[in-house]
Amino acid sequence: MLSGVAMMPHGNDVLDPKDKKTKKLAETLKEIGRTFSGAEAYVLVSPHNVRMSDHLGIIMTEHLVSWLGFAGVELPGEYDTDRELAGRIYEKAKAKGIPVVDINFAALSGEYSRFPLTWGELIPLHFLEKRPLVLVTPARKVPRETLVRFGEVLAEVLEDYEKKVALIISADHGHAHDPNGPYGYAPESKEYDELIMGLIREDRLEELLNIDDELIRKALPDSYWQLLIMLGSLRKVPMELKITAYACPSYFGMGAALYVRP
């Protein structure tokens, strides 16, 4: 059963928040962790793992291991993959004609079947109790409607699964908020972030499909494609928005949202 859905950021600032808004964001992430304490597994959709241009990846390795932190912050840990669930997601998506790839590494199973985790996964996982998980990687050249359809298929699989599963959408927003940041300044980053958080808070997620490509390009988010998957899942299993938060303590925006079953 799909027990809940959460959008969670993956910026280091939430690990040691300094300003009021970031502290509120970190508290929201802790609330998500408490809410999902009853989950038996997670599906985590991350933009910072395997990067493919036109296929979604379903990681099938038996073990997922901490490999690369961010800005010098390392979060050690090892997680087991729920391989039964990963296989069901892959098989159903493939049967529906969705461009998915099943990914393993080194060995088919056992100790050497391992795959790395990055900050895109480790920072959200830091706020969650340890559970088996399935790692999913989106692709930016997959058509919007296909990503939404994958979210629908994903929700169908989770609803039919015997365990309670929480869906985690790892997402940071515009990356050009600060002229001194690595991507410079673009007003579209603020525009994009305000639009996304407004669509979430006002229950207008369907309007994600109408966002202009040029706004996305200039805003430099790494959230849009994962949010389309979230939209599809919430289409299939409607949920209530419980809490949101947003902060922008550096050059990129971070938001959180928690959806629970009515």
In this predicted structure, what is the pLDDT of residue 247? 98
> Residue 209: which CATH number?
3.40.830.10
* In the block, residue with structure tokens 């990067």: 51
pLDDT in tens, the chain (262 residues): 999 999 999 999 999 999 999 999 999 999 999 999 999 999 999 999 998 999 999 999 999 999 877 778 888 889 999 999 999 999 999 999 999 999 999 999 999 999 999 999 999 999 999 999 999 999 999 999 999 999 999 999 999 999 999 999 999 999 999 999 999 999 999 999 999 999 999 999 999 999 999 999 999 999 999 999 999 999 999 999 999 999 999 999 999 999 999 9
* Pairwise CA distance, residues 62 & 53, whole Å: 25
User: Residue 51 burial (CB < 10 Å; 0-12/13-18/19+)?
Assistant: exposed
Considering its fold, how many domains does the chain have in total?
A: 1
Q: Which two tokens stand for residue 213?
A: 């490509």
| pLDDT at residue 90, rounded to an integer | 98
Q: Give CA–CA dist 74/72, Å, rounded.
A: 6
The per-residue pLDDT for 72 is 80
For 242, list phi and psi in degrees, rounded to 5: -100, -40
pLDDT at site 187: 98
| pLDDT of 119 | 94
Please report the pLDDT score of residue 27 as a whole number: 98
Residue 148 near residue 228, CB atoms below 8 Å: yes
Compute the distance between CA of residue 79 and CA of residue 133 in angstroms, rounded to an integer. Answer: 7
The DSSP element (H or E) to which 153 belongs, if any, is helix 144-160
| Alpha-carbon span 248 to 262, nearest angstrom | 30
Give the bridge partners for 245, in sequence order: 256
Q: What range does the domain containing 107 cover?
A: 2-260
Which neighbouring-strand residues pair with 134? Answer: 43
Q: Any residues with CB less than 8 A from the CB of 16 and at least 6 apart, and which? A: none
Give me the pLDDT at residue 73, please: 82
Q: What is the pLDDT of residue 138?
A: 95
pLDDT at residue number 134: 98
